[in-house]
Each structure stands twice: as C-alpha cells, then as structure tokens.
Amino acid sequence: MRAILPNFWLFVPAIFRGGSPAQKSLALTDLKQETLNGLSVIRADGADGGLELRLCPQAMADQRVERRKEITGLPECRVMKPITYSPDSMVQLKVAEDRSTMMFLSGASMHDSQTTKELRALENAEAPAVACEPGTLVTVFENNTHGLKVCQYLEPTEVEGTLRSWTTVINEGAEPVTLESLSSFVLAGITPFAVDDAPGRLKVHRFRTWWSNEGRHECRPIEDYQLTRSWVGFNTCSERFGQVGTMPVRKFFPFVAIEDTEAGVVWGAQLAWAGSWQMEICRRADSVSITGGLADFEFGHWRKVLQPGEQFTTPVAHLACVKGTLEDLTHKLVALQESRLTNLPASEEELPVMFNEWCTNWGSPSHDKTLALARRLQGTGVKYLVIDDGWAKRPPEATMQSNGDWIVDTEKFPHGIKATCDELRKMGYVPGVWFEFEVCNPGSQAFEQTDHHVHRDGRPLRVGTRHFWDLNDPWVVEYLDEKLMGFLADNGFGYLKVDYNDHLGVGVDHADSLGEGLRRHVEGIYRTFQRLREKVDGLVIENCSSGGHRLEPSMVGLTAMSSFSDAHESQNIPIIARQLQYLIPPRQSQIWAVLYPDDTAERFMYSLTATLYGRMCLSGPVHDLSDTQIETIKAATGFYQQAAPLIRDGRTRFLGETPFHWAHPEGWSGVWRENAAGDRALVVVHTFAGLPDAPLTVDFPVPGEWKIDAALWDGTTAEPTCAGDSLSLPSGEPFRGFAFLLSSRT
C-alpha cells in the first residue's frame, strides 16, 4: 500500500497538500471580527478567495484558541503531511455545469463545487435592496465564470444571541444558469475552543418525529456518525438529513445543534420552510460545520434555471449560539419565533380555551349536537367551539373526508350552518370550522377539475385519495376566495382549523424540476394563508397537518396556534407536549384533553393538566359528564386562565427525564415556566409507571423561597406541599398530573 500512496497523492488537489494555503492556520489576530446581537462573528479568509463564517458568544471571544498548525509523530503520516485546516465557504452553491464533487462526496453531498471554490469576496459591493433590520451584515461574492453575484445576509433579531440568515443569488451574466444547490446558512469552525479535532467532546442534537410521536430528542456523540477526521484529513465527511415533501416536520424537525461539552457552548439552527429541506453536518480536517437550506438536486430533486437579470432568495434560517445547554439554545430559538408572531387576532391576547367536537362526534357533527354541546359547556370558560370534519356533504363512496366542493350537509344542518354560528355567537362562543382546503377527494366535482390540480409526469398527482389544488392557478385562487374565504365570512366563523393530511412527495411538474415545482407550490400555500388573514377580519387560524407535521417557524408565524399532535387520548400526550416546548412557543401548541364519564379522577386530571404545556383544547362526550366532572373542568379552565400569561410569555426549564418508551412510559417529567421578572412560575408534572411507593420530590431549577398560589390535582391522596425550593408530591396511582402556580417570597 505504501508504494502506491505517493502516486495516489499526485491526484489530490493542491488545496489539500501540506504547505498550500489550505494548510495555513489563521491566527486570531488575522481574522475579521465583528459583534452582532451579542455574538462574535468571524469571517475568516479561506482558500480560493472564499470566506468562512464562525460564531461564538461575545463574552467568550477571548477564550478562542488558535488551531494547531501541524500534526507530527503519526507513523501513518510518514509520506503524506496531514492537514489541520480545510475551510468551509459561508455560502455553498452548485450549478449544473459543475463537475461532480471530488473526494467521495458525489451522491452524499453537493458541497465544495467548482462554483463555490471560485467565489471571490467583494469589498463595498452593492447588494439587492431588501427589508432588513439595522445592522444586518451582508457579505457579497462574485463568480465570474457564471456571472453570478451571491449575497449572504446575517440579520440581528430581537433576541440576543440569535440571527436570521439567508442567501440571494443574482445572475448578472448573459446566459441562463441552472442552480442545483444553495445554502441558507453555513456555520463553520466548530469548535473554536479546541486546538485539535475535539475528540469526544462534540455532541449532535436533533429532534425526530413520526405521527402522534412528535419531538423525540436525539443526542449522540459526533463520533457515532463517523464524523471523525481521517488519518490525513483531506476528505470531507457528511451527515445529510431532512425531509422531502410538503410536510416539513416528518422524520425530523428542521433543526440541528452541536454542543461542545467541555467549553459549554452550543451552536444551533432551525429552518423556516414548509417544503423539502436538508441539513448537513460536515467534518473538515480538525473542524466541523453545519449547513442548511432547500433540499438540493440529489436530496430533493430541486433544480432552478436563473435567467439573466433574475435573482433567487433562499428560505430563512434561524441561528443561535449560547454559552450553556441545549435548553438555553432552544429557549433562544423559541423566543425568536415568539418575537415574530405579529398581527394576531385580538381574541388571542388571553389565549382562550377551545372545544373541538372531533372526539365527541367522530366525523358526524350536526346543528343539534353542536348546540347541545354549547349548552353543556356554558360557564366552563370555553371560548372557541370548533365544528370538525363531517359538516359537508359526502358522496356515498366516501368513508371519511370529502374535500373540494364543501357544500353544507343540510340533513345535519337543516337551517344552514350560519344558523348554528348565530346561535353560538348568542351564547358567547366564537364558532369555528374544519377545512382541508388544499386538496380534493374522489366523488366531488372538484376532483374532476384536473386542469387546476398539480401534476407529475403530465398526470394529476394523486396521493392516497387526494388530488392537490394548484395554488398558483388564478382559477383556484378565485375558487378558494369563494368556497373558503367567502364561506367563512358569510357564515360568521371566527376560527378556522386548517388540516393537511398528506403531501406532494418529491415534487410536481415544472420546467426546471420537480423540486422547483414543489417550492413554488409552498409559496402558493403561504399566499393562501396570507389571503385568509387579509380577507376574513379577526380570523383565528389553527395550523394542523395530521397533527404536528407543520410545526416549523414559517407556518407558526402565519397562524395563531398549531395542533401539537394527533395524540388525542394516548398516555404519551404530556410527553409530546413537553417536548414541543423545545421547538415551538407554548402559546402556539394546542393540546387535547379528551374527557370521558368513566375516567377515573386520576385520568381526568392527567388529561386536563397535560393541556397546561400549551393551549387547552377540550373534546369528548362532555354531554355525558357528571356535574362533578363539569366542576372539575371549570376548576381546570380557571387555573389555565391564571396560567395563561406565563404560557404566553415565559422561559421554560425542563424537569425530570423524558421517558425512554413513550407508549409505555415510566418515571416522571415536567416543566418549570417562569416570567421575565423571575418571581412567578407555572410548574406542570406528570407521573407514569414504575415510581416507588413514596412521595416524589421535585426540586426547583430556580432556588429561593417559593409558595403555592394555586394548585390543580386529582385530590385522591394527601395534598402536595412546597418546601421553599421543592415540591413534595404524595404517592398514589400511576399516571397522574399536577400543576402549580408559584410566587417567590423574596
């Protein structure tokens, strides 16, 4: 083997050989450093004229260390000189004309294209005029081979330690250019606190998800992904992950973080995009980088032709870097989402309680059933009363949903649905209704309007029983203005539950690519939600996609709240609801409590207290509940109303441990959510199986003298007590829920 290596080495590009510019270890004094929103931002000169972006907390800027310049004494490196530094461009893009990526990446990553390597940073270059916050850092590059100008934006936000990042490409040449990959962000140089390759100290954080099991945290050493440097260090290793389709939270949330466990620093990113996306973690010699943006041509079949004079902008990424833990990082990213929740309906200020009759009537609502529920719920604090699927006529062959025509079933609503809404309004409710407006089903006339549906390979795309409207078609825009917006306004609805129960997959027909067709379709989705907000005054919109398949920042920002999951009645509800506080604002997280007359006192309260991880949504056969159970609901909604200010504005700290097996949970877990002043807190705790028959002590993450102002629990055992900086919860049956409002004595 050693006899072959010198010949092999001749084919390795000069960038990777010892003594080349890539081998240079830049001194900290040579780096261009700026401070942006509490972060030290470094744009380091890389090989071939590019720049590498590095972040760290400003308070730790003086703790960065210089990388080692060479590695000696390794017997395997007698012939080849190992490299220590291989820069990662702060923009990664690829055009179709590029040759395939070298060094084993082809098919695994589209990084390090020739177009990327030919980027040249420009001084004092003009960037496109866009709406940005003051202080936005814009870095401009050019690629003369293809006539491209590339602008990378880092925008400060209202939340210290966070930035918004995106990239714009302008074709200033005379010929069309076909993009196949373009990043929204690239964070490199992880970790700047280690002189070497940081063995054993880097951990990767991701959140996995499947239907009714959203938000499972995955934390693994970076070595588990084989993202370790090779003996000579010249090859890039990549872990690429994401999802393809229009359910952006499927298998993974669009989130990644890397933690330096010795320095106590965490870098993280979250994509704000409702279509196909990808993240990459790359090992480059001694350092690691994370990249994210649209799913590229290899991963998501995205290819876009940029005509002369045309420009293209990527989805936005939310970036954060903190001294602390994953909890500290996700708090920043969730706070950033909260800061961008603007123009919400006035009714949302107090986070009202809602009742959704899905788990009451199971797809068969009616005028009489709705009003019977409304009468039974009077005085319980419920404000939004939502009529779910089943209000529209269904063809004989339909077993459940029938979307597209949306004609009121007059057998169920003989006086029209407006009469039902009018009666609900008289009783003090805001009436709501379910729609899955992006699709149509067999048996409807709409299903036959195939010229107005999206296509793949020239045929209407069918997924399961669904066709999908082409939301960029003017005919469809007008149709929805009448069938959706007009229906809501004419009948007096103030609440809309938007469901979405399947997705487009790899994409739909477009001259450039299937992925570009999908990207444009997502833009049509955004425009439709925006029109809903503009055309129906004061409308409260719920973002649901078979539960939690759209729990990402762009959809969160377009709606008043989001369905946390389709876990309506299962024991894992408090686990999912707690996990989602890592990822979305609690005020956005609508959580179900399905209540039955035969529930034990423990089960009844287990369900009710689970809603205190976010927004309270009740369901179930409440007309059959006893008066005692109705009084318990009143106590729970009263407690929720007191807790609403903390749910709306607060800081979450996590208590206990997330159970390993969500279908058969053991142990206990909960949250502590405090106000900005730090003198009020909401504590929610759920117990599962396997606890010892002894009181459970819950230590507070914020020390001090605390007292219980209000408590919500099942009353089946001795009363919980507070001992200043901890709670003592009496033992009892498994699967119990507790909630407390605390105030500081100091």
Do 290 and 192 lie in one domain? The reply is: yes
Point out the domain boundary residue: 313, 339, 365: 339
* 152 close to 127: Cβ distance less than 8 angstroms: no
Q: How many domains is the chain partitioned into structurally?
A: 2
Point out the domain boundary residue: 522, 539, 563: 563
Do 312 and 454 lie in one domain? The reply is: no
The total number of residues written for the chain in this structure: 746
Do 81 and 171 lie in one domain? The reply is: yes
- If one counts every other C-beta atom within 10 angstroms of the C-beta of residue 388, the result is 21
Cα–Cα distances in angstroms (integers) from residue 572 to residues 290, 312, 653, in the given order: 32, 42, 20
In a domain, 663, yes or no: no
- Please report how the helices 367-377 and 417-426 are oriented relative to each other, as an axis angle in degrees rounded to 10: 10
The count of C-alpha atoms lying within 13 angstroms of the C-alpha of 13, restricted to the half-sphere facing its C-beta, is 16
pLDDT of residue 602: 98
pLDDT above 80 for 140 = yes
CATH number of the domain at 79, please.
2.70.98.60
Question: Partners of 278 in the beta sheet?
Answer: 242, 293
pLDDT of residue 476: 98
Alpha-carbon gap, residue 131 to 128, rounded angstroms: 10
- What is the bridge-based pairing of β-strands 615-619 and 353-356? parallel
Q: What is the pLDDT of residues 374-417, one digit of tens each?
A: 999 999 999 999 999 999 998 776 666 679 999 999 999 999 99
DSSP 335-370: HHHHHT--S--GGGGG--EEEETHHHHSS---HHHH
Q: In 446-539, at which residue ranges do the beta strands (DSSP E only) sit? A: 455-456, 459-460, 462-463, 466-468, 495-498
Structure tokens at 603: 């089960």
Q: What is the pLDDT of residues 212-257, one digit of tens each?
A: 999 999 999 999 999 999 888 888 899 999 999 999 999 999 999 9
Closest residue by Cα to residue 3 from 82, 78, 70: 78
Do 219 and 356 lie in one domain? The reply is: no
Alpha-carbon gap, residue 178 to 349, rounded angstroms: 47
Do 554 and 439 lie in one domain? The reply is: yes
* 216 close to 227: Cβ distance less than 8 angstroms: no
Do 395 and 283 lie in one domain? The reply is: no
Instruction: For residue 283, give every residue at least 6 positions away whose Cβ sits within 8 Å of its Cβ, in sequence order, or none.
Output: 222, 227, 228, 229, 236, 237, 238
The count of C-alpha atoms lying within 13 angstroms of the C-alpha of 619, restricted to the half-sphere facing its C-beta, is 23
- Mean pLDDT, the chain, rounded, equals 93
Q: In 3-106, at which residue ranges do the beta strands (DSSP E only) sit? A: 32-36, 39-45, 51-57, 93-95
Do 516 and 383 lie in one domain? The reply is: yes
Could you tell me the residue range of the domain that residue 483 belongs to?
351-563
- If one counts every other C-beta atom within 10 angstroms of the C-beta of residue 734, the result is 16
In a domain, 646, yes or no: no
In a domain, 699, yes or no: no
Query: Per mean pLDDT, which range of 66-75, 463-472, 557-566 is the poorest?
Result: 66-75
The answer to whether the peptide bond before residue 632 is cis (omega within 30 degrees of 0) is no
The pLDDT of 272-289, averaged and rounded, is 97
Positive or negative torsion for Cα 312, 550, 214, 602: positive
Alpha-carbon gap, residue 443 to 396, rounded angstroms: 8
In a domain, 651, yes or no: no
Alpha-carbon gap, residue 87 to 75, rounded angstroms: 26
Point out the domain boundary residue: 545, 563, 581: 563
Alpha-carbon gap, residue 337 to 34, rounded angstroms: 25
Do 319 and 387 lie in one domain? The reply is: no
Alpha-carbon gap, residue 26 to 54, rounded angstroms: 13
Positive or negative torsion for Cα 729, 733, 736, 739: negative
In a domain, 687, yes or no: no
pLDDT of residue 703: 92
Alpha-carbon gap, residue 522 to 744, rounded angstroms: 47
DSSP 585-632: -GGGEEEEEE--TT--HHHHHHHHHHGGGSEEEEES-GGGS-HHHHHH
pLDDT band at 48 (very low <50, low <70, confident <90, very high): low
Do 173 and 50 lie in one domain? The reply is: yes
* 185 close to 89: Cβ distance less than 8 angstroms: no
* 354 close to 547: Cβ distance less than 8 angstroms: no
pLDDT of residue 399: 62
- Please report how the helices 627-648 and 601-610 are oriented relative to each other, as an axis angle in degrees rounded to 10: 30
pLDDT of residue 448: 96
Closest residue by Cα to residue 356 from 614, 572, 616, 586: 616
Where do we find the tokens 């499927």?
A: 250
* 688 close to 705: Cβ distance less than 8 angstroms: no
The pLDDT of 110-117, averaged and rounded, is 93
Do 78 and 200 lie in one domain? The reply is: yes
Q: What is the pLDDT of residues 10-35, one digit of tens each?
A: 233 333 333 333 334 445 555 678 99
Q: What is the pLDDT of residues 331-387, one digit of tens each?
A: 999 999 999 998 899 999 999 999 999 999 999 999 999 999 999 999 999 999 999
pLDDT above 50 for 5 = no
Highest mean pLDDT among 65-79, 124-138, 501-515: 501-515
- If one counts every other C-beta atom within 10 angstroms of the C-beta of residue 703, the result is 10
CATH number of the domain at 422, please.
3.20.20.70
Do 244 and 273 lie in one domain? The reply is: yes
Positive or negative torsion for Cα 386, 391, 394, 400: positive
Question: Partners of 392 in the beta sheet?
Answer: 408
Q: What is the pLDDT of residues 649-707, one digit of tens each?
A: 999 999 999 999 999 999 999 999 999 999 999 999 999 999 999 999 999 999 999 99
End-to-end CA distance of the chain: 72
In a domain, 622, yes or no: no
In a domain, 733, yes or no: no
For the chain, what percent of residues have pLDDT higher than 90? 86
DSSP 41-63: EEEEE-GGG-EEEEEEEGGGGGG
The pLDDT of 439-446, averaged and rounded, is 94
Closest residue by Cα to residue 49 from 143, 127, 138: 143
Alpha-carbon gap, residue 337 to 271, rounded angstroms: 11
pLDDT above 50 for 531 = yes
* 406 close to 416: Cβ distance less than 8 angstroms: no
- What is the bridge-based pairing of β-strands 120-121 and 93-95? unpaired
Do 97 and 179 lie in one domain? The reply is: yes
Q: What is the pLDDT of residues 611-632, one digit of tens each?
A: 999 999 999 999 999 999 999 9
Q: In 133-201, at which residue ranges do the beta strands (DSSP E only) sit? A: 137-143, 148-156, 162-171, 177-190
In a domain, 555, yes or no: yes
